[in-house]
Every structure is written in structure tokens, then in C-alpha cells.
Structure 1
Amino acid sequence: MVFQGRDTLVHKLHDKQLQVFTNFLACFVKPEHLPPIPRTLAGLELKGDKLLTARDLYVGRVADRFRREHPKHHMLKPFLDQVLQGYIACGEYLQRKLPLESMTLQCLSAVDPIARGHSKTGHLLRELMEMLSKFLPADVDVQQEILQYGVDQSLPTFTDGEDAVSWWADVSDTGRYPAHSIVCVPWATD
């Protein structure tokens, strides 16, 4: 990966883009319309009763102070209308361009050791293994491996922020998860 630092972080990409997009939408969309569900956010119509009022629209600290101190200023309404239109245009552009519904990125998020032990992680790992099935040994029971991985208490502990590739290399060294190791450990090579 050319544009990343020392650590491999592709497993964080989907969650991070979802967080950034949701944080952006929170500037002008009511919170109750912002569930962290990719399909919902990708198809969300950015109009009508879903939008914050002009009083609640995020405009920054300086503009917010002006809005409070001069609520009847003749330039305030046109300014807020333009800000809202800008937010909507940017939001719609991001909906079209961000791969919010990318199954590949969602599946890659399942190799994050922090996600281990959750049923959704197991489902995403199965999808990922299916995507990469031609690279996996034919004699490995991938389903059984995924089930065991999700509940294996003997694996090394992992703390968010640690290097996931190093952790997976340690897991690979145990020899217990050959399919996982094929999928996760090659990231260590540059």
C-alpha cells in the first residue's frame, strides 16, 4: 500500500470512512436519520424533514456566534441557505463516490482482531474466505476454522492500536488457522 504509513490499516478503512461520512452528515442531518448502516447512509435522501433547522446547522464557531448575536441580519438567511445547499451537494457527491456498500471493505474489517467473537464478524469472514477461496487449501474446513477462531481464548491478546499484521503473524505461527493465515499474513510483505 503506497499511501499508508508503517502499519497495514486496510482492515480499518470501511469503519473509518463510515465514521467520517456520518460525522460530516451530522453537520446538517438530524441524528435520528444517521444509523451507522452503509446501505441506509448510501441511499439517504438529503432533504426535507431529515435536515437540521437553520438554527441547528453547523456553521463553525465564529458564524454561530454571529447567528446568535444578529438573528435578524439580512445576510443571515441567504448565508445559511447557501451553507445548506453546499452541505447537500457535498453529501450527495460523497454518497456517489465513497464505497460505503463495498462488501470487500466490509469483509476486510472482519480481520481486525478487535472484531473477533462477534457473529457479524463470522459472517464477514465467511464472505471474505469465499472471495479468496481459490487461494485457500482445499483440505481446510473454513467454516469450522471461523467458528473456532471466534471463541478461541488461547490466542494472544490484542489491544486496539497494536499492529494487526504482527498479531496475525503470531496466530499463523500457532498453525491452527491456516485459511486465516493465508488471508491475513501476506499483508506483512511490502
Structure 2
Amino acid sequence: MIMGLYSSVFPLLKSFVILFEMKEPLIHLLHEEQVKLFKEFLVCYIKPDVVLGATTSTKLKKLDISSQSSQINPESMFLGVKAQTVVRKSAKKDFVVKGFLKQVSEAYTLCGKVLQDKLPLSNPLLKSLGAIHPEARGHAQTLSYMQKLPTYATTVLDEAETQEYDQEIRKFHIDNSLPEMKGTRIDHWWGKDEVTKSYPNLSKLVQAILSCFHGPQVESSFNIMNDVIDNKSGRLNLETYSVIQTIKYRLSADEKTAIQFFQKKDYMHESVDKILFKNMNSSNREYKADLEKKRDEKLLKKRELDIRAKNTNSKRKAKELIANAAKKARLGHCQNLKK
């Protein structure tokens, strides 16, 4: 039951982290996505009307999510398909199930409190950054946020440019001649000639803001591995990470490159290293067994989430379908609570 709960709830948190691991700048979406994440997590165990009542991020920060009156019954909390099936089939007086539901309630409350305390939901800077999205223009609140941006990036514009900037943002909000945003990265849009020529100071400030780092700090841990950088570095599992560290440490200790370490004086006639050969075979067997195990787990998960096999032609598509099915289950849970 616990693993079923984890596999259903964790994708919600993971999707938020993965979103900001992308190469394109998304700092302007940080506030909106944090609020969305917090609300979607709360509705797993908090009454929907309580969540809907918190109409602003400030109210979300002050929301009493530890109160029993704000929470739904443990049996109605989002448990995931697998755990929910076990709970429904068991007797109401089953002490194992009762203990599990109590732990779920406590875990949700604790995790929700951590998110509420740690997420900068009411941060004025992040709120203002959302105003740089081209599709957000045309609103008084957006204009107000844009007026505050130079106070956060004080070194980008000088006094004369700041005055021109204030005039530019007003014109920007009523300009219908600007190109559409659809399918374009936000930094590419702000770099277009028609934008930079018409609004030089505004685009200068926005481009400086979009260059700010917004990814998880955990990515910096890869530096200890002598900058292991590739297009999938953020997806390395712990075993692979550990193996790379071990190999690099050994090579560094011997002060040799990989070629020097395994080089032979006469590779045509020297005997094969039997230990190395044995280790390679063993590693290959374990690797194939691990792939087979993961494949079986994915098939089982697809059956549980009722995903049609014809829609899973690729690994990426399969992952997307599983994540969407889990999200659909959470949304279905919310809809049932409203009814």
C-alpha cells in the first residue's frame, strides 16, 4: 500500500522538478507553477472548498492545513489506484489498514506544511517575473508588476533608461502589432527584431532576467564528477552515478586516463584479463536482468492504470501516458470529492 501511494503521489512532485530542468528559461512560470503544485497537492487531502477559498497566494501561505476540520476523511484521501483497492477490499476494523490511513494523514499534513513553509508562494519578485510573459500583457496588475521590475534588477538600466522603460511598458500593453507567442521560446520572442527595436529598454531588462538560473541546486552536485555533462545527466540513477564516481576516483588515484589504465604492451599476444572478462559478463547479465525487471514493472503499471498498449510505441510516450494516467486519477479524486 505504501509503495502504491508513493508511486501515485511522487509524480506530482517530480513533474514540477523536471519542468525546471529544461534548457529554455522558465523563471517567469516559477510562481504560477509553485501555486499550482501546492494546490494540487493540498486537494489530495484537504477539502476542495477550503483550497478554492484561498484565492491568493498570501491566503495559501496562511491557510490552516493542519486542522482536522479542513481535511477530508482518511478513506477519501488520494491513495492511488493500488492502495485504494486494498483499502476498499479490507474490513473497516482492519488494524493494518487503520494504521496505514493514520500514517497517510500524518504524512500528507507534514509534507503539506513543509511545502507551505518552504515554497515562496507570496514572493513579490516571483510574482513580478510572471508579468514578462507576452500573453500576460493588457492587464492593470501586469503593468503594476512590470513597473517594479527595475527595482529588482538595479544594475541593468541607468536612470535615463529607467524613465524610457516606464514609457515603453505602457505602450507595450496596448501594442497589437507584436508577433504571436505560440510555439516560440520566451527568450527567442524577446530577442526578435520587431520587439527589441520597438522596446529596447524593456527587452534589455527582460533578457537579463531570463538569464537568471532557476534550476534545482542539486544539479551542481555533478561538478564533483569533473563535469559529467550530457543531455541526460539529470536522469542518471544512483547506481550509475556511484559507478562513475568510483571509476573516476580510481583513475584519479592512479593518475592515469582510462586508455593508460587498460593499455597493453602487446595487445595482439598478451592474454585476456580473466577477472575483467568475468566482471564484464557479470555486469552485462545484471544489466539485462535489471532492464527486464523494469520492463515488467512498466507493463504491470500500465495494466493497473488501464493504458492501451497501442499508444505506447516509445519509452518517452509510455512515460507520458503513465504520468497522465496518474494525474487523471488525482483529478478524478478531486471531482469525486466535489460531488
The reply to whether TM is greater than 0.5 is yes
What residue in structure 2 maps to residue 92 of structure 1?
113
Q: Point out the structure with the larger helix share.
A: 2
What residue in structure 2 maps to residue 26 of structure 1?
43
What residue in structure 1 maps to residue 31 of structure 2?
14
Q: Report the Cα offset of residue 172 of structure 1.
A: 6.6
Q: Report the Cα offset of residue 153 of structure 1.
A: 0.2
The answer to whether the Cα contact below 8 Å between 2:178 and 2:195 also exists between their aligned partners in 1 is no
Separation in 2 of the partners of 1:171 and 1:116? 19
Larger Rg: 2
Separation in 2 of the partners of 1:171 and 1:152? 15
Q: Report the Cα offset of residue 108 of structure 1.
A: 1.0
Q: Report the Cα offset of residue 164 of structure 1.
A: 0.3
Q: Secondary structure at the match of 1:154?
A: coil
| Superposed structure 1 runs of 4+ greater than 4 Å apart | 171-174
Separation in 2 of the partners of 1:36 and 1:162? 31
Q: Report the Cα offset of residue 62 of structure 1.
A: 1.3
What residue in structure 2 maps to residue 144 of structure 1?
167
Q: Report the Cα offset of residue 6 of structure 1.
A: 2.4
Identify if the C-alpha distance between structure 1 residues 171 and 80 changes in structure 2 by more than 3 Å, giving closer, same or farther: farther
The equivalent position to 1:128 in structure 2, one of 131, 135, 149, is: 149
Q: Secondary structure at the match of 2:150?
A: helix
Identify if the C-alpha distance between structure 1 residues 173 and 155 changes in structure 2 by more than 3 Å, giving closer, same or farther: closer
> Structure 1 residues 61-70 or 77-86, which shifts more?
61-70
What residue in structure 1 maps to residue 61 of structure 2?
42
The equivalent position to 1:104 in structure 2, one of 106, 125, 135, is: 125
> Structure 1 residues 20-29 or 127-136, which shifts more?
127-136
Give 5+ residue unaligned stretches, structure 2: 1-19, 214-339
Identify if the C-alpha distance between structure 1 residues 5 and 54 changes in structure 2 by more than 3 Å, giving closer, same or farther: closer
Q: Report the Cα offset of residue 79 of structure 1.
A: 1.4
Describe the superposition over 1:149-173 as per-residue Cα deviations: whole angstroms up to 9, x where unpaired. 11110111112x5200110111675
Give 5+ residue unaligned stretches, structure 1: none
Describe the superposition over 1:6-56 as per-residue Cα deviations: whole angstroms up to 9, x where unpaired. 211111111111111111111111111223521111121111221111232
The one-letter code sitting in structure 1 at the alignment partner of 2:142 is T
Q: Secondary structure at the match of 1:75?
A: helix
What residue in structure 2 maps to residue 178 of structure 1?
200
What residue in structure 1 maps to residue 86 of structure 2?
66
Q: Report the Cα offset of residue 74 of structure 1.
A: 2.8
> Structure 1 residues 12-21 or 165-174, which shifts more?
165-174
Separation in 2 of the partners of 1:83 and 1:168? 46
The answer to whether the Cα contact below 8 Å between 1:171 and 1:177 also exists between their aligned partners in 2 is no
The one-letter code sitting in structure 2 at the alignment partner of 1:29 is I
Separation in 2 of the partners of 1:20 and 1:54? 21
The answer to whether the Cα contact below 8 Å between 2:74 and 2:104 also exists between their aligned partners in 1 is no
The answer to whether the Cα contact below 8 Å between 1:11 and 1:111 also exists between their aligned partners in 2 is yes
Separation in 2 of the partners of 1:71 and 1:154? 65
Q: 2:137 aligned with 1:116, yes or no?
A: yes
The answer to whether the Cα contact below 8 Å between 2:46 and 2:70 also exists between their aligned partners in 1 is yes
The one-letter code sitting in structure 2 at the alignment partner of 1:177 is Y
The TM-score normalised by the length of structure 2 is 0.51
The answer to whether the Cα contact below 8 Å between 1:168 and 1:185 also exists between their aligned partners in 2 is yes
> What's the Cα RMSD here?
2.3
The answer to whether the Cα contact below 8 Å between 2:196 and 2:203 also exists between their aligned partners in 1 is no
Q: Secondary structure at the match of 1:156?
A: coil
What residue in structure 1 maps to residue 104 of structure 2?
83
The equivalent position to 2:181 in structure 1, one of 153, 158, 174, is: 158
Q: 2:74 aligned with 1:54, yes or no?
A: yes
